[in-house]
Amino acid sequence: MIPVARPSIGEEELNEVKRVFNTGWLGMGSWVFEFENALKAFLGAKHAIAVNTGTSALHIALDSLGLKKGSKVIVPSFTFAATIQAIISCGAQPVFCDVDYGTLNMDIKDIKKKISPEVRVIMPVHYGGLPCDMDEILSVSRKNNIIVIEDAAHAFGSNYKNKKIGSFGDITCFSFDPIKNITCGEGGAVVLNDDTLANEIIKKRILGIDKDTWHRYRNERSWFYEVVCPGFRYHMSNINAAIGLVQLKKIGVFLEKRKEICRKYDAGLKGIKEIEISNRDYDTIASFNYVIKIKDNRRDGLMDYLKEKGIDSGIHYIPNHIQPAFKEFHCELAVTEDIFKKILSLPLYPDMEQSDVLRIIDAVKDYFKYD
């Protein structure tokens, strides 16, 4: 079976983890500090705070703003449930907005319709690695005194108008789970340029403890600490940071391989009238997934056919406004609901062989009776 996604890891990551094991310091320590510095250098950001998951990154970023109960966050329904769970965990309410049919990113017109005095945050999701229209989103946010927290789980390595996602804006959150553009095994990061908010997040990520963290980063124990605010056990471990450090050195190779696969898909699937292919500039974005839209209610049939041929595929994502847990926030989102019926993710990961890609293209063509 060809999976939809798979981590690209090897001996280098294992050897770096062994180095951590040899120190006996498995928790947050010098590898985390080094990984944070490497992230800052790569992204061109002032602060990069490593945490244990991408969901934790979103949650702690929201929590650092001191949202009151009843505060609202404008967010696309077309995203993974983690985005919404982070909002609700802070006591805030998601305000679902629609997406643009072509980009699958937030519809700016719908954002403007959803603005109200209770809205404290706009949370764009850079779907598939394609950046949202950040100039417009930041313009709307500034006019309405709203903070922007970017869910960039898909977009590590993407560029927006020659600027790295994470190098500008208010707060950007990344995920480094097993199938992201780079992995830490599990992990995430909050990236920002604001000193005050960064200091708040740094304290909150390790149970609100304010202490001489240099001892911790040097893999030393210090018995004295003060708890100065509510917080969480969200810090990254040396084990995860060690994997991330090796992965970060490979990001250029990973992105090139993803780009090559996406272009092969584009060329191979072009001309199949039952399929809509997304137009992407692969030179500027880090493609997280390869999504096609299937017309005439034939998506599920194609999924079943691919599975018979030993090819996995996926639906990313089931819209959150139709999920039972979020039914109180339900609203009508015509484009999102239309897209949900059509989208299909084909396998995409750096270790795919050319023969795998051709096999997938041939299977899709066979299903639609194309030679």
pLDDT digits over 286-329, tens only?
999 999 999 999 999 999 999 999 999 999 999 999 999 999 99
Distance CA 7, CA 174 (A): 16
3-state secondary structure of 335: helix
Separation of alpha carbons 200 and 62, rounded Å: 11
d(CA 62, CA 87): 7
Would the pLDDT of 260 be above 60? yes
Q: Is 271 left (phi over 0), alpha (psi -120 to 50) or beta?
A: left
Share of the chain above pLDDT 70, in %: 98
**Could you name the CATH architecture of 11-249?**
3-Layer(aba) Sandwich (3.40)
Q: What is the mean pLDDT of residues 105-125?
A: 98
Q: Report which residue type is found at 3.
A: P
User: Can you tell me the distance from the alpha carbon of 42 to that of 21, in angstroms, rounded to the nearest whole number?
Assistant: 27
Strand order across the 47-51 sheet: 47-51, 188-192, 171-175, 147-151, 119-122, 72-76, 93-97
Q: Is the pLDDT of residue 224 over 70?
A: yes
pLDDT average, residue stretch 201-222: 78
User: How crowded is the C-beta side of 88, counted as CA atoms within 13 Å?
Assistant: 12
Q: Where are the beta strands (DSSP E) in the chain?
A: 47-51, 72-76, 93-97, 119-122, 147-151, 159-160, 163-164, 171-175, 188-192, 209-210, 226-227, 275-277, 290-294, 343-346
Q: What is the per-residue pLDDT across 141-161, written as a single tens digit (0 to 9) for each? A: 999 999 999 999 999 999 999
pLDDT at 118 over 70: yes
SS3 227: strand
72, 114, 180, 293: which is the annotated catalytic residue?
180
Instruction: Give the integer Cα–Cα distance in Å for 367 and 272.
Output: 11
**Of 7, 6, 5, which is closest to residue 247 (Cα–Cα)?**
7
Q: Which two tokens stand for residue 82?
A: 């983690």
Model pTM?
A: 0.96
Extents of the domains making up the chain: 11-249, 252-367
Cis geometry, peptide bond prior to residue 317 (ω within 30 degrees of 0): yes
Between the two ends of the chain, the Cα-to-Cα distance in Å is 23
Cα separation, 245 vs 38, whole angstroms = 8
CB-CB contact of 97 with 103 (8 Å): no
Q: How far apart are CA 357 and CA 370, in angstroms?
A: 17
Digit-coded pLDDT (tens) for 56-107: 999 999 999 999 999 999 999 999 999 999 999 999 999 999 999 999 999 9
Assign 220 a pLDDT band (cuts: 50, 70, 90): confident
As a CATH number, domain 252-367 is 3.90.1150.10
341 counts as catalytic: no
Q: What is the pLDDT of residues 15-48, one digit of tens each?
A: 999 999 999 999 999 999 999 999 999 999 999 9
Beta strands, E only, 136-274: 147-151, 159-160, 163-164, 171-175, 188-192, 209-210, 226-227
Q: What is the pLDDT of residue 211?
A: 63
Q: What angle do CA 356, 247, 177 make, to 5 degrees?
A: 75
pLDDT digits (tens, 9 = 90+) for 327-370: 999 999 999 999 999 999 999 999 999 999 999 999 999 999 98
Using one digit for the tens of pLDDT, what is the confidence trace for 155-195?
999 999 999 999 999 999 999 999 999 999 999 999 999 99
Instruction: Tell me how far apart the alpha carbons of residues 303 and 306 are, in angstroms, rounded to a whole number.
Output: 5
